[in-house]
Structure 1
Amino acid sequence: MDGETNTLHPEASQASAISAKTQALASKYDLRLPRYTSYPTAPHFHGGVGAETYGQWLEALEPGSPASLYLHVAYCAEMCWFCGCHTRVTKRYDPVADYLDALLSESAMVAKRLSGPLKVTHVHFGGGTPTILTADDFVRTIDTLRADFGLADVAEIAVEMDPRTATLDYVKAMARAGVTRASIGVQDFKDDVQKAINRIQPIELVAQVIDWLRDNGISDINMDLVYGLPHQTTSSVLHTIDQAIAMAPRRVSLFGYAHVPWMKKHMRLIDEASLPDVPERWSQYLAATAHFQALGYVAVGLDHFAAPDDEMARALSEGILHRNFQGYTTDTAPALIGLGASGIGYLPQGYVANEGEIGAYKELIRGGSFATKRGIAVSTDDMVRRSVIERLMCDLAVDLGAVAREYGLPDDTFATELAAMDSLEGDGVLVREGGVVHITELGRPLVRAVCAKFDRYLKMGEQRHSRAV
């Protein structure tokens, strides 16, 4: 496997210089903040929204209305130490098959509670590791969803893939089932980084899986990369990007590793001394963002990059990009139905989250009850603030007066929040033009700190959130 390139990327030295100038910003704004994939955010969901409420919300969905599905496959063959997902490790298939039976029972239960079939426009398989399923079980799952819900002929079906468990038979099954997009978990190609996070994955293996996908007609390929991992340097991150882009993905996500060992005990296996400090994380992020753009990709929001002709880049230019629990998305459906342990969904009335413990989830489903453990009904104020936060996260700009008017509120609804941005503007994070807020390129990695100004639920500095940078 290749190590760092011997030729220093110009973005590396430039980012290092910029990073040195932004240490005051890092210490001032690098707080523990939500990722704002929802608003209100998941820590504020509560047990007052349970199975009965969820059933009523499902019944209220108009037959034929657009909806999306998220399926959480909560098993992996091996635990990656950087992982923040809800998953369980197994070397046997029996637990996976048993769990899948429960998930498909939940699907039937949801479909039965609906007033009529929906028009499903997006299906997303996440995990865990969806590729831990057998090819036959994957096809059976898609067939069940088609029977339970009204999958549109043009529905996007996306699958997160671990190249270590993907097989040619599985890829062929994906193609037969109508999968349109695959998301490849890469993280980093550097040997010592892979060893430090317990994810040994040769670049040749990734290339092989991508070849299988394209040979079978699945050409919309995403890649997931991570910065802030142990032993990473700015130059090594840029080298991994070069290796990834050589495989021509349509989209790339670049996530900052969130080290939360108080939440995920397996993260304690990572040597904290090997993690990059805040200045280096800044340098990695800034250099990577510049490098993607130099390579012709469009920067999308905080951490995504898309080919200029990709649907996500077009949605960004048209101001119709959205954000949900999977990150940035072109999905415009007003309802997302989450299936599986820890599955999260949203409906017009609010958010719902399933029981995360697999045994308890299966027991609830087999007992004939929805596994809804918690959630939150959204108020008008929540919806208005959600719109503001979503536009900031997606467009790095928001017209506060326009959002207020959309909900029949006065133009000066956010006068208090706007006035509280003096420091952010003085530090060059944003620019205010009347009631319009523009986040600068310098402020891009701090967009969540701007969103936090509109978050009525947030207690600043809460340790359950990841760092802003």
Structure 2
Amino acid sequence: MRDDLRARYGEERLPRYTSYPTAPQFSDAVGQEAYGQWLTSLPADAAASLYLHVPFCRSMCWYCGCHTTITRRDAPITDYLAVLRREIELVAERLASPLAVRHVHFGGGTPTIMEPYELLGLVVLMRQRFILDDTAEVAVEIDPRTLTPAMIAALREAGVNRASLGVQSFDPAVQRAINRVQSLEQTARAVEGLRAAGVRGINFDLIYGLPHQTVDSCIDTVRQGIELRPERFSVFGYAHVPSFKKHQRRIDEATLPDGEARYAQAEAMAEALMSVGYCRIGLDHYALPDDSMVKAQVEGALHRNFQGYTTDPSDILIGFGASAIGQLSQGYAQNEVVLGRYAERIQRGELATAKGYALTDDDRLRADLIERVMCDFRVDVGEICRRHETAPEIILQAIPKLRMLQDDGIVHLEGDVLSVNDNARFLVRSVASAFDAYLGFSGRTHSRVV
């Protein structure tokens, strides 16, 4: 990476653009009443996706940026799931008719921390309240260290066909520094059990930029992961925001790699994955050539939502659970983050919406531009502006960052088509940010570009 580009862009803290506008723009101007009206107005023939958040883990990983709670007891989990079930009922009651569902995602926390019968009960309830397509993608996030044979059997019965396994790093020194010791053997047993249960889509989550990480240790992690041949890898940069996530203060900042080292780690991992046949998808995903995500990228049908890159085309995402975010055509709605407040709201028969955002026409235009940049490294500004009945020059002339991006060789503009140059794709978030009308607020909560 050129020194001048690293100095100018590498230290920027920018959103990952899994939504636009991003969460710092949410406010209590959108509450349960607005969200309830949005749900009621959904057309009967709409296809939706569901996200269920299970905010519990057995131990805290110090790098974690998720909303989760540590518990050694099962009672808090059981109590929470009862509230979650009630929320599903409350949302379903506000729908004009049951919605078709083609994507379900269990996230956390550690969703598989619940008992197997509890997971099956949630799936039964969703089938009762929604029309769950027989070919639906049902995905779950898994901690291989706590996955049991009984849970694997439940995942099979529940129809789970995609699993995302947290790996992060196989380097023992890194694992100790982030409080997540996990052997290759534990991960291999989880993969073997899941595949025997019919889970054909397996993803490994890896992280670079962790304490004590080196290029060599990153490559070793990739090589060990490749031995298990998951269909996909996600490779994220560690976001160190100890003012926002206080447990990250346990990480010694002196052991964190700088921007140049982070870039070297990310590119080394990319090269190691592509050298054995994985295709690079967008900024940070990799998939085998026959994976549906590769097909979506080739066809220009790749999308982004709160789970990252996805083949899910639906603009209706209903979020359940504390801190869960839903997305409808009107905007975003986020539930109460604090478990107690979330439970109180649901037990009173209310929706748990704490804040959200109502989209404007300009937001929708910019969201489309940013999604295509993030997914395709290219955006036809003219075509998207015409679809939104806006002159492209209005957008292009209002981007003060555009000239700098062009002069630095990061993008080129041919007519109304903006493309990210191949050797600058790692700066795609910087390019996307040029279309962001709100950037500059709450940047402390965002991760570094490199």
TM-score normalised according to structure 2 size:
0.98
Contact 1:401 1:413 in 2 (8 A): no
**Could you report, residue by residue, the CA deviation over 1:57-81 in whole angstroms, capped at 9, with x for unpaired residues?**
0001111310000000010010000
**Number of residue pairs the alignment of both structures matches:** 449
The residue that corresponds to 2:345 in the other structure is 364
Name the CA distance, whole Å, in 1 between partners of 2:442 and 2:51.
30
Match of 1:5 in 2: none
Residues 384, 407 of structure 1: 8 Å contact kept: yes
- 1:226 paired with 2:226, answer no
* Paired position in structure 1 for 2:117: 136
Q: Does 1:239 align with 2:220?
A: yes
Distance 2:217 2:409 in 1: 29
Q: Which residue of 1 aligns with 2:258?
A: 277
Q: What is the CA–CA distance in structure 1 between the aligned matches of 2:261 and 2:335, rounded to whole Å? A: 37
* Structure 2, unpaired ranges of 5+: none
Stretch deviating more after TM superposition (140-149 or 189-198): 140-149
Deviations 1:154-198 (A, max 9, x none): 110000000111111101100111001000000000100000000
User: Which among 376, 380, 383 is matched to residue 395 of structure 1?
Assistant: 376
Amino acid at match of 2:90: M
**CA shift at 1:460, angstroms?**
6.9
Pick from 291, 300, 306: which aligns with 1:310?
291
Specify the alignment match of 2:3 in structure 1.
Answer: 23
Q: Is the 8 A contact 1:312 1:321 kept in 2?
A: yes
Q: Which residue of 2 aligns with 1:87?
A: 68
Q: CA offsets per residue over residues 34-73 of structure 1, 9 Å max, x none?
A: 1111000000000010000000000011113100000000
Say if 1:24 and 1:367 are closer, same or farther in 2 by CA, change over 3 A: same
Question: Where does residue 410 of structure 1 map in the other structure?
Answer: 391
The reply on whether 1:381 has 2:356 as its aligned counterpart is no
Q: Does the 8 Å CA contact 1:238/1:291 hold for their aligned counterparts?
A: yes
Q: Distance in 2 between matches of 1:180 and 1:142?
A: 13
3-state SS of paired residue (1:389): helix
Identical pairs, percent = 49
Question: Does the Cα contact within 8 Å between 1:50 and 1:374 map onto a contact in 2?
Answer: yes
Does structure 1 retain, via aligned residues, the 8 Å contact 2:58–2:72?
A: yes
Structure 1 position 461, deviation (Å):
8.0
What residue ranges of structure 1 are gaps of 5+ in the alignment?
Answer: 1-18
Q: Tell me the residue number matched to 1:184.
A: 165
Equivalent position amino acid for 1:104 in 2 = R
Shift, 1:462, TM fit:
2.3
Write the distance in 1 (CA, Å) between the matches of 2:148 and 2:443. Answer: 42
Structure 1 residue 444 corresponds to structure 2 residue 425: yes
CA distance in 2, matches of 1:242, 1:417: 45
Question: What is the root-mean-square deviation of aligned Cα atoms in Å?
Answer: 1.1
**What is the CA-CA distance between 1:421 and the residue it aligns to?**
1.8
Normalising by structure 1, report the TM-score.
0.94
Cα distance 1:428–1:125, how it changes in 2: closer, same or farther (>3 A)?
same
Q: Secondary structure at the match of 1:242?
A: helix
Q: Matched residue of 1:442: which SS?
A: helix
Q: Deviations over 1:265-303 (max 9, x none)?
A: 100001111111111001111222222222211111111
Structure 1 position 413, deviation (Å) = 3.0
Map residues 251-266 of structure 1 onto 2, 5 A cutoff.
251-266=232-247
Deviation of the 1:412 alpha carbon:
2.1
